[in-house]
Amino acid sequence: MRVLVAPDKFKGSLTAVAVADAVAGVLRAHGHDVELCPIADGGDGTVDAAVAAGFTRRGLTAAGPTGEPVATSYARDGDTAVVELADVCGLVRLPGDLEPYRSSTYGLGEVLRAALDTGVRRVVLGIGGSASTDGGAGLAQALGAVLRDADGRELPAGVGGGRLPEVVAVDRPPVLAATLEVACDVDNPLLGPHGAAAVYGPQKGAGPADVTALDGALAHWARVVGGDLAEVPGAGAAGGAGFGLMTLLGARLRPGFDLVAELLGFDERLAGADLVITGEGRLDAQTLRGKGPAGVAARARAAGVPVLAVAGSIDLSAEELAGAGIVGTAALADLEPDLARSRANAAELVTRSVDQLLRATR
C-alpha cells in the first residue's frame, strides 16, 4: 500500500515531524510505501510543517511575549512566507508566570516585518497559542503604527492589553506590500461573553476581574481604531489579534487547516494514497471543530481513502470517530496510562500503537 502519514504534533512530547517519522518506521517494516506530510492548523508547529514540505527556514531574534529576546524563525518558498505567532510570542515562550496584562504581540510584528523586508508577496500567518490579549496593538507597533496617549506622547513598544486604555489615537502602519492570510480556527467576536477576554483570557492567567478589565480595554481599543470588524467571526482570535490584523493590516482570516493544507499541497499528496494515518496528542470534541486531524479525515473521506488515527488519548465515541471519517484508532494511554511516562516515551509508544493498529485492521 501507499500510505500518506499526516499527523499533527503531540503537544508536550513530540513534534508532528517526530510523530510522522515514528509512524513511517512501522509502516516500512510492514512493507508499505510511505509519504510523509506532517501537518498543522495555525498553532505551534506551523513553520515546522512548512519546512518539512520544502520551505526554507529563516532564523531571527525577536521579542517574546513580555519583551525578552527569543530565537525564532519563519519559513519561505518563492514569494510566500509562513509566520507563526506561537513560536515567537505565544504561551510556550513565556519565561515564567502567565502575564495577561503585559503580554504583547510585538514580536510577531517583528517577524512579519523581517519576512516582508525580503520582498515576499504573500504571508501566511498562524495565530494559535497566543499569550496576550492586546488586540493586535503590539504587532501593529512593530509594523510602524504609533499609539498615542492623551498628551500625544508615543506609548513604548510592546503595548499589552493592560495599557490599551491609555491609547487615545493611532497613527496607522503603512499599507503592506503583500497579502496577509491568517490561519484561524475560532469564530469568536472581539468582545462580550464569547469574546477574546472572556473565552481565552482565563487560559492566559486572567481571573474574573481581569477578564472584565481586559474586555473593557479591548472595547476601548476598538473605539479608538474604528471600523466595524469587532463582530466578525475570528476577530477575537489570539487575544483580539484577529481584529487588529483585519482592521489595521487588511488581513483575511481563513480556516487554519485549509490554509496550511493548501501550502503543503495536501490534496496532491493524497491522490493515489491507499491509506492515511493522522493523529494528535488528544482526539476530543475540539478535534472535530476544525483541527488538523479532522481536516485530514474530511479530505481523505471525500477522496474515498480510509483514515487511521493515533493519539495520546481519545475522548470520542466510535460513532463520533466514524462520523469524522476515521475508521480505526490507537491510543498511547492504552499502553501507558501514566501521562508523564507516556510523554517521556511517546515515540516508542507511537511505534507500538501503530504496529498494533495495522495488525488489527489487516
Contact 101, 134 (CB under 8 A): no
pLDDT at 248: 97
Contact 172, 148 (CB under 8 A): no
* CA 172 remoteness from chain centre: 26
In the block, which residue shows the cell 482526539? 283
Which residues make Cβ contacts (< 8 Å) with residue 190, sequence separation at least 6? 135, 196, 218, 222, 229, 230, 231, 235, 236, 240, 242, 243
Question: What are 288-334's pLDDT values in tens digits?
Answer: 887 899 999 999 999 999 999 999 999 999 999 999 999 999 999 99
pLDDT at 360: 87
The pairing of strands 179-183 and 69-77 is: unpaired
Question: Residue 235 pLDDT > 80, yes or no?
Answer: yes
| DSSP character string of 123-182 | EEEE-TTB---STTHHHHHHTT-EEE-TTSPBPPSS--GGGGGG--EEEPPPPPSSEEEE
| CB atoms closer than 10 angstroms to residue 351 | 18
Question: Residue 227 pLDDT > 90, yes or no?
Answer: no
For residue 184, give the amino acid letter.
C
| CB atoms closer than 10 angstroms to residue 61 | 14
pTM: 0.92
Crossing angle between the packed helical segments 237-249 and 208-225, to the nearest 10 degrees: 10
Question: Residue 361 pLDDT > 90, yes or no?
Answer: no
Question: What are 4-42's pLDDT values in tens digits?
Answer: 999 999 988 999 999 999 999 999 999 999 999 999 989
Question: What are 67-102's pLDDT values in tens digits?
Answer: 999 999 999 999 999 999 999 999 999 999 999 999
pLDDT at 290: 79
Question: Residue 182 pLDDT > 90, yes or no?
Answer: yes
Question: Residue 362 pLDDT > 80, yes or no?
Answer: no
The alpha-carbon radius of gyration of the chain (Å, integer) is 21
Nearest in space to 111 (alpha carbons), one of 138, 131, 135: 138
Contact 235, 184 (CB under 8 A): no
| CB atoms closer than 10 angstroms to residue 341 | 12
pLDDT at 250: 96
Confidence of residue 186 (pLDDT cuts 50, 70, 90): confident
Contact 243, 191 (CB under 8 A): no
Contact 198, 245 (CB under 8 A): no
What average pLDDT does range 251-263 have in this prediction? 93
What average pLDDT does range 114-135 have in this prediction? 97
Q: 2-39+266-360 with 54-256: one CATH topology? A: no
CA distance 208 to 13: 32
pLDDT > 90: what percent of the chain?
93
Nearest in space to 273 (alpha carbons), one of 6, 55, 58, 1: 1
pLDDT at 277: 98
**Phi and psi dihedrals of 154, rounded to 5?**
-75, 130
| The domain made up of 2-39+266-360 is a member of CATH 3.50.50.60 | no
The CATH number of the structural domain formed by 54-256 is 3.90.1510.10
What average pLDDT does range 151-155 have in this prediction? 97
Question: What are 266-281's pLDDT values in tens digits?
Answer: 999 999 899 999 999 9
Which long-range contacts does 245-250 make (Cβ < 8 Å, 24+ apart)? 245/125, 245/127, 245/136, 245/139, 245/180, 245/182, 247/136, 248/136, 248/140, 248/145, 248/170, 248/172, 248/173, 249/140, 249/143, 249/173, 249/176, 249/180, 250/175, 250/176, 250/180
